[in-house]
A and B are shown apart, each in its own frame.
Chain A
Amino acid sequence: MRARAPLVGLALALVLAAGAAAQARRVAEQQMHDVAAQLRCVVCQNLSVADSPSEMASQMRAIVRERLEAGEAPEQVVQYFVERYGEWILLSPRRHGFNLLVWVMPAVAVVVGFTLVGLVLVRWTRRGAAAGPVPPTPVDAAMRERIRREIEP
């Protein structure tokens, strides 16, 4: 029993190591996908490098994987592509300078829109309240006669 203990320990260590290795590979896969998802597939329309089935995208994924495995940080890999293609390669523009407009405009538009709708609503309700209840339209004898004809069988 005592002689077997080291063997069991070794087996346990091996299993743990294999598990850790598989975990590391999965993390790398996820990291590769995260980087590729930020990059525009250059030969497609509106597809990321992660989503495109094209050969160019698959070569770019291979480059991303290679650089990550060489120890580069995801941001460094993204920067590598930006240096060669410009910010055009990024699917979402960076939040600085003129690009900020893209990020800020939708929020501004929503706020301005709600404000305008609110102002208009306030004006309409005020005008309605000031005018008081609408007096019923008088119905003359001819109209009464016509209604009677139309509803009677």
Chain B
Amino acid sequence: MTPGLLRWLIPLSAVPVLALLAYGFRVNPRDIPSPLVGRPASAFALQTLEGAPLALEAQRGKVVVLNFWASWCYPACYEEAPVLERNWRAYRDRGVVVIGVDIQDKLEAAQKFTRDFGLSFPNARDTTGKVSVDYGVYGVPETFFIDRRGRIRAKHVGAVTDEAFRLNVEKLLSETTG
């Protein structure tokens, strides 16, 4: 090896490493693509905070907004609770249902949360964590938009905004049932 080549080889070998780092540091580590988008939503049968049965299957034919939350999830869950309630009221007559799933929580705290925000859509408790794992939930809040055929079409991580709710729901409503 000639000394000239050697002189260039050392800085050149750093280029791919730097490129890899440049790519790695620009990617948000919290932004994890869900493998579930496009796949059928897992069925579940839970109980609401009031003890009534709540099954996803019963909502087939409707656009379902499935929201995972917890009363200790401050501030994101506190920010999105009024958004969910407001949009649920706006869309409930157009074949949209909002379902809340409370995870890793205490019943009393969860009941206080729904009372404080005056939530009128059904909220269930995932006491075993099985539904959370079935949906690949890694934090709260996470929201899944499920189409009329029962397929997960979008996943929203973090507090849902009016815009995100409307965009996703309108898109799924505009589709004809296949």
Chain A residues with a Cβ under 8 A of chain B: 42-43, 55-56, 59-60, 62-63, 81, 83-86, 88, 101, 112, 116, 119-120, 123
Contacts and interface: CB of A to CB of B under 8 A. Distances in A.
B84 to A, nearest CB: 22
Interface of B (DSSP majority class): loop
Contacts, number: 50
Contact of A85 (B10, B13, B35): B35
Interface of B: 1, 3, 6, 9-10, 13, 20, 32-36, 104, 128-130, 132-139
A43 B139 contact: yes
Nearest to B9: A116
Nearest to B139: A43
Interface of A (DSSP majority class): helix
Nearest to B103: A56
A42 B139 contact: yes
Contacts of B33: 86
B32 A59 contact: no
Contact of B134 (A42, A43, A84): A84
A83 B39 CA distance: 11
A85 B135 CA distance: 8
B35 A84 contact: yes
Nearest to A113: B13
A42 B1 contact: no
A60 B129 contact: yes
